[in-house]
């Protein structure tokens, strides 16, 4: 969190991306594809991108930020680049996580939003809950939006691990005053869990608006609202 707060302070208006990636997530992005990370192994990584209008000014601010964060001990190692090929390669480390974790067999995937101070809390809690039934419990995401992608991988789907994961993931998120879906939407799979993010009054209002605007239920049917509404 200190790294992100320092990035906001020192990079300001040119800060366009700030991604947190834990060690197991990075392993999903490298090991299955026979790739390596440009920096040594650590528990956590931050991918920071700037998008200002003056290249030299942006590079100077980014180098100053990296030097300051390393001198203060917040960051232990890092690398910067303005070469398009290297930038693409670094972003691929993040983008390969989703397909890479499927090499474990099966993956329960969740997209939650929680207060920044609790950004990573669900990972150790889930690890303790599922124990050796899971191959990996890992997370990565847009720390600037407090949006965490939680992955629980296992050799194959079983009811045993499913019942340990759900509804625990939604209950835990709700207790932190978070949202059960940060960017992927509610869709078909989560309507019955919407109660963990919305009050009964909010759900009633949503139902009334849906009935008013779509009385025949033909617009995007069977999604978002719980079936019993």
Per mean pLDDT, which of 80-89, 100-109, 186-195, 216-225 is the most reliable?
Answer: 100-109
**16 lies in the same domain as 54:** yes
pTM: 0.88
pLDDT at 229 over 50: no
Q: Is residue 3 domain-shared with residue 78, that is, in the same domain?
A: yes
Question: Quick check: is 228 in a domain?
Answer: no
Q: What is the pLDDT of residue 124?
A: 98
Residue 148 belongs to domain with CATH number:
3.30.70.2740
pLDDT at residue number 136: 98
Residue 224 has φ and ψ, to the nearest 5°, of: 70, -65
Neighbouring CB atoms inside 10 A of 215's CB total 8
211 domain-assigned: no
- Residue 10 and residue 92 in one domain: yes
Show which of 53, 72, 98 is a domain's final residue.
Answer: 98
- Please tell me whether residues 80 and 11 are part of one structural domain: yes
Among 50, 74, 98, the domain boundary falls at: 98
Q: Say whether pLDDT at 134 is over 50.
A: yes
pLDDT of residue 217: 87
Q: Is residue 176 part of a domain?
A: yes
Cα separation, 22 vs 25, whole angstroms: 5
Length of the chain: 229
Asked if the structure places residue 225 within a domain, the reply is no
Q: Are residues 141 and 81 both part of a single domain?
A: no
Q: What's the CATH code of the domain at 41?
A: 3.30.70.2190
> Considering its fold, how many domains does the chain have in total?
2
Structural domain range at position 145: 105-187
Q: What is the pLDDT of residues 18-74, one digit of tens each?
A: 999 999 999 999 999 998 887 789 999 999 999 988 888 888 999 999 999 999 999
CA distance 84 to 99: 23
CA-CA-CA-CA dihedral for 172, 48, 93, 166, to nearest 10:
10
């Amino acid at each position: 969190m200190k790294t992100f707060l320092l990035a906001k302070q020192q990079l300001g208006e040119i800060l366009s991306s700030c991604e947190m990636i834990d060690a197991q997530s990075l392993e999903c992005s490298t090991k299955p594809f026979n790739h390596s990370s440009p920096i040594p192994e650590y528990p956590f990584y931050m991918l920071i991108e700037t998008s200002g209008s003056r290249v030299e000014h942006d590079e100077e601010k980014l180098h100053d930020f990296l030097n300051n964060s390393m001198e203060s001990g917040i960051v232990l190692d890092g690398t910067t680049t303005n070469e398009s090929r290297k930038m693409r390669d670094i972003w691929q480390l993040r983008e390969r996580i989703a397909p890479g974790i499927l090499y474990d067999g099966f993956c329960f995937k969740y997209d939650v939003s929680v207060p920044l101070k609790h950004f990573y809390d669900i990972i150790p809690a889930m690890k303790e809950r599922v124990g050796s039934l899971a191959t990996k419990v890992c997370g990565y995401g847009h720390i600037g939006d407090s949006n965490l992608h939680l992955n629980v991988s296992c050799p194959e789907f079983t009811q045993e691990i499913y019942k340990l994961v759900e509804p625990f993931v939604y209950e835990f998120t709700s207790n932190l005053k978070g949202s059960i879906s940060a960017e992927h939407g509610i869709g078909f799979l989560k309507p019955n869990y919407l109660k963990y993010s919305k009050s009964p009054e909010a759900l009633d209002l949503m139902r009334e608006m849906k009935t008013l605007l779509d009385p025949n239920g033909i617009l995007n049917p069977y999604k978002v609202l719980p079936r019993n509404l």
